[in-house]
Structures are given as C-alpha cells and as structure tokens.
Amino acid sequence: MERLFAPWRMEFITGKREEGCVFCKAPAATGHFRENLVLHMGRHAYVIMNRFPYGSGHLLVIPLRHTPDFTSLTEAESLELSQLLQRSMRVLADVYHPEGFNVGMNLGAAAGAGIREHLHWHLLPRWFGDTNFLPVFADTKSIPEFLTETYDRLRPGFDGAAGVGPAAPRMGGPRP
C-alpha cells in the first residue's frame, strides 16, 4: 500500500494563527513576494497563491482594502478584481491547460469563509478526474509540485498585467 503524506495541511489545521490579517500582511511585505506567493500587485487588488491549496494552481484574488463587505467595493476595486480574475484564468489556462475552473467566494462564517474579515475570490483550475478517494477517505490532497515551482511557472504570466487582454481562456488541452 502506498502512502501519501501532506504534512503541510496539518500546519493550517492545527497551526497557530497569526495576529492581524494575513491578506493585509502579504502585499505589505514588498521584498518578499515570492516567499509570500504574491503573483501580482495592482492598485486596488492583488493575486496570491493559496498556501493551503485545494488543488494545483489554486489562486486567490483579493482587494487591497481590508473589508469583509462585498457591497462596499468601489467601482475601481470591482473593475480591477474582475480584470485580475480574468488575467489569472488566462495565465492558468496557458500554463496548466485545465478543462474548467471553479470561481467563488465564501462571505461570512455560515457560508464557510475561513478568513471572514477580508473578502477574497478563489480560482481553481479543474480537470476531469482530478477528484478521487484521497480527500474522502484519507483527508489528503495530492499536489504534484511544490508551491514555489508553481509560483515560478505562473509568475511570468503576470508581468505587465496592467494590460488585461480581452481573450477568454481556452480550456481542455494545449493552446495552438
């Protein structure tokens, strides 16, 4: 019988919680973007990799302003967040060729928000057959590469991200 170990997950489950908002700290540490997995910093929002991903390429798109209230977003914040979600989909499509995406946010404890005090979108690339028995029976996810390797693969796609283009990502295989 093979065993897959995911000890990094236990850090999230039982680890000591940091003081303050993790989503405010990461973009403030400008000299440590790779260490903090920040892929892109915008004027009103940023893109970061999920340190405890549900699957490969799990990204978060987050407003810089600390708020749990989706309805409080300004027009400029909403526009940039939407553009960064689109850009992130394009980058993931180019690098990983997923067959689909899950995009969503959980607002409030009752909705399952793990970090309730700072709203954020989850973006997960998906493939047919990417779910299996491991999460159900072993409470384990298999992530096929280290987070820093994923970061290094995705980061170039965010260079010059001010120009978020109009093309939709193609899914389901290599791009022509």
Note whether 54 and 124 are within 8 A (CB). yes
CA distances in angstroms from 149 to 2, 3, 78, 118, 172, listed in the order given: 24, 23, 30, 27, 22
How many alpha carbons fall within 13 Å on the CB side of residue 23? Answer: 22
**Residue 120 annotated as catalytic:** yes
CA atoms within 13 A of residue 37's CA, in its CB half-sphere: 19
Of 97, 118, 120, 122, catalytic: 120
Q: Hey, which residues are catalytic here?
A: 120
